[in-house]
Amino acid sequence: MERSAVIALGGNALVNKNARFASFEDQREVVETTARQIAQLMYQGWRVAITHGNGPQVGDLLLISHMAHEAQREIPQIPLDAANASTQGSLGYLIVQAVRNALATNDTKSEIAAVVTQVVVDRADPAFRNPTKFVGPSYGIEEANELSIRLGWRMKEDRGRGWRRVVASPKPREIVELPVIRELMERGVSVVTVGGGGIPVVKEGDKLKGVAAVIDKDHASSLLATGLEAELLAIIAPVEHVCMDFGKPTQRPLDRLSAGEAKRLLAAGQFPQGSMGPKIEAAISFLEAGGSNVLITDPPNLIRGIVGETGTRIKP
């Protein structure tokens, strides 16, 4: 697909990192800044598929659901796959509206739409046997034990934050709505899709069923970029560049990397799993599947990164 990009927005592009709980209006204000850059890309003729994280929003929704259930036990708790779907819808609305408003400022007629997206995972994925992804609020040990017994939640201690629910984070295998997304983009419509890594589903014969899991957003974005044969995968991170020795006196930014260099640095422990690791893995997967160009940078530098002025470029 000519002049197409998948832009993976991290949580820093959706919420104020200094706010414990972000109101919808707070999120709108943060999103509008990034939306102006995306609108500028569309004005230049790019068709974009925008993906996004939803960790804070899912956590807030699960907390609201839990508090409502505790106050009135007849109110059922929202299952995790439904929470993912709900936040995909609300964030998709927010991003589409912000981009449309930015396009109107430039009198650009490009179209954009949100697609609630399911992503198939493998029921046999080892991640289901060893859940590691924290979701929702923290609890004391007694309440964590009670929730574990009453609701069947797996609970682990999140260092410094108390006990939290953990769920599986399986690898994405197939994007169910990919044919629809591809057709929309071929018709010139940009798309907001695969929010939060997609709603995780498993196949049971010819049926789909949601499961309690969280798919890594960057891995799902890489799979999407491969399926769309996108020219560019742009991963929006909290930092302007990927760095060697991050946080150390010897820290230095990396402007350009080959996929092979990225793999060697990843194996050497330069990119931890809790921060840059999944982004580098996603970049390598896209390039090894035939992709040609990955950019990693922060929200204010998306346009400058695409034209080569800043950010980290990873190529085959």
- Catalytic residue (choose from 10, 11, 59, 197): 11
Per the annotation, the verdict on 12 as an active-site residue is yes
The maximal CA–CA distance of the chain, rounded, in angstroms, is 58
Boundary (domain end) residue, out of 108, 141, 167:
167
Boundary (domain end) residue, out of 167, 195, 227:
167
Residues 149 and 292 in one domain: no
Average pLDDT, the chain: 91
Q: What is the CATH number of the domain that holds 197?
A: 3.40.1160.10
**Distance (Å, whole) CA 193 – CA 152:** 31
Q: Which two tokens stand for residue 5?
A: 């990009």
Model confidence over 76-101: pLDDT tens digits?
Answer: 989 999 999 999 999 999 999 999 99
Task: Give mean pLDDT, residues 295-312.
Answer: 95
Residues 215 and 156 in one domain: no
Residue 255: half-sphere exposure toward Cβ, Cα within 13 Å: 5
Q: Is the pLDDT of residue 1 over 60?
A: no
Per the annotation, the verdict on 156 as an active-site residue is no
Residues 102 and 45 in one domain: yes
Residues 264 and 160 in one domain: no
Angle of the 217-228 helix axis to the 178-186 helix axis, nearest 10: 60
- Catalytic residue (choose from 133, 171, 203, 263): 133
**Distance (Å, whole) CA 231 – CA 219:** 17
Residues 237 and 179 in one domain: yes
- The number of domains in the chain is 2
pTM of the full predicted structure? 0.91
Model confidence over 170-202: pLDDT tens digits?
Answer: 999 999 999 999 999 999 999 999 999 999 999
Q: Classify each residue of 108-141 as buried b or exposed e, where b means 16 or more C-beta atoms within 10 Å of its C-beta.
A: bebbbebbbbbbbbeeebebbeebebbbbbbbee
Model confidence over 218-235: pLDDT tens digits?
Answer: 999 999 999 999 999 999
> Which of 9-13, 14-18, 298-302 is predicted with the least confidence, judged by mean pLDDT?
14-18
- Contact residues for 217 (Cβ-Cβ < 8 A; gap 6+): 8, 10, 51, 52, 53, 54, 194, 196, 197
Residue-level pLDDT at 14: 76
Closest CA to 166 of 154, 150, 158: 154
- Catalytic residue (choose from 217, 301, 305, 311): 217
Cα–Cα separations (whole angstroms), residue 29 to 52, 99, 138, 237 = 16, 12, 28, 18
Residues 65 and 196 in one domain: yes
Residue 102 domain-assigned (yes or no):
yes
Residues 66 and 90 in one domain: yes
Cα–Cα separations (whole angstroms), residue 245 to 150, 267, 272 = 44, 14, 11
- Catalytic residue (choose from 55, 279, 291, 293): 279
**Distance (Å, whole) CA 219 – CA 171:** 7
Residue 126 domain-assigned (yes or no):
no
- Contact residues for 28 (Cβ-Cβ < 8 A; gap 6+): 94, 98
Residues 58 and 104 in one domain: yes
- Report the amino acid identity of residue 181: I
Per the annotation, the verdict on 217 as an active-site residue is yes
Per the annotation, the verdict on 263 as an active-site residue is no
Q: What angle do CA 267, 164, 118 make, to 5 degrees?
A: 70
**Domain hosting residue 135, numbered range:** 131-167
Per the annotation, the verdict on 18 as an active-site residue is no
Residue-level pLDDT at 12: 59
- Report the amino acid identity of residue 146: E
- Contact residues for 87 (Cβ-Cβ < 8 A; gap 6+): 54, 57, 58, 61, 195, 196
